[in-house]
Amino acid sequence: MSVADALWRFPSAMMAWRNLGRNRMRTALAALGIVIGVVAISSLGMAGVALQQQATSNLGSLTNQVSVSAGQDSDYDGVTEDQVEEIRSIITDAEVIPQKSNSTTVSSRGQEAYVSVTGVTNAAALYDVTSGEAPERLQTGALISNSTARELGLELGDPVEYDGQLYRITGLIDSGSGFGPGGGRGELVIPISGLADQEHYDSVTIIAADGDAATEISETLDEHFNTDGRDEEEILRVSSYASAQENINSFLNTLQLALLGIGGISLVVASVAILNVMLMSTVERRGEIGVLRAVGIRRGEVLRMILTEATFLGTLGGLVGAGCSLVVGAVMFQLVVGDPTGVLQWASARYLLYGFAFAVFASVLSGIYPAWKAANDSPVEALRG
């Protein structure tokens, strides 16, 4: 069954469909403008969602972290054992992990690499490994970043030397993890006893339940150590990454609105094209519309016919544009997030609906003036041409 056969019970709709088929090239070009506009709006909206998901993924392990180090008013060049115990007495519902750090050059098979050395006990809480293991109590062995292991040709079980002590590699650190000086890149992690010559801890990492808990812990520690009556000192520098995600989300939301605005311009241009097509169509069919009016077709029927043409254009262009946007969105999610199915989530799929709805609305809006002009044209004047 053809579209025309399906619309035979609706005369205005059937005439509108036939009128669009009279000049298929002009109809196709108008619909193409709508397709481009829908793809622009939907794709840019989904691009913003993909970027936001990537930022959330990259910062997800940081947002519940609190980092503590010596402040500018501290009498020590690090965090003391007493301060660590005091932190543990204050923060009872989070993991408190003190760290010591240094740097050295690791050599193997004639190759050398400069690495940051981190001494820690609970390595599992801070590091993700691609192979091997990161023990909760690192007492023997060592972890080394994947990039450094590849550079030096090291594998699990190979020895590395630091300060005259040999450590066997028990795990390879994922380059995207780690909170030591190397941030998981160019880093050697050894038991904290390997840095026993350093009196104080360089930093303390506190792992909270979530970002809100991290913010609360940060404020509690800052108030306890850095506020003495009315005087404020920075005995310990307390940093929380929880606000970073909020700031990035705020920026990405603003960016997304800007991208949607740019995409919306494309649909505005398409709307102008539709307005031009509908005006040209009504001018060319002025005599035909005059005959319809002369044989008794009412103004409302003419008005519905022209508006239906515009609606068909918007619907056709919107559907094709949404389909193209779905493919573009899947490619973007694959490239940015690594998961093309993310385009089907409501956070991104809603932009397909927004683009389609905007296309239909813009098309109908563009058809109002040509429809009004055609419906109110005098039948006598129309028949004269």
Pairing of strands 159-162, 203-207: unpaired
Q: Give CA separation, 323 vs 33, 46, 318, 326, 349, in Å.
A: 15, 13, 9, 5, 11
Residue 32, C-beta contacts closer than 8 angstroms, at least 6 positions apart: 317
Domain segments of the chain as ranges: 3-58+246-384, 65-241
The per-residue pLDDT for 320 is 93
Under 8 Å between Cβ of 27 and 313: yes
| CA 267 – CA 363 distance, rounded (Å) | 9
Residue 22, C-beta contacts closer than 8 angstroms, at least 6 positions apart: none
Q: How far is CA 32 from the centre of its chain?
A: 28
Does pTM surpass 0.85? no
Beta bridge partners of 66: 206, 240
Beta bridge partners of 144: 172, 188
> Tens digit of pLDDT per residue, the chain (385 long)?
555 455 446 666 677 777 777 778 877 877 888 888 888 888 888 888 888 777 766 665 567 888 899 998 888 999 999 999 999 999 988 899 999 999 888 877 777 888 999 999 999 888 888 889 988 899 889 999 988 898 888 999 999 888 888 899 999 997 655 544 444 458 999 999 999 899 999 999 998 887 778 888 988 998 889 876 556 788 999 988 766 667 777 777 787 787 777 777 777 777 777 777 777 767 666 666 666 666 666 777 777 888 888 888 889 888 999 999 999 999 988 888 888 888 888 888 998 998 899 888 888 888 888 778 777 776 656 555 5
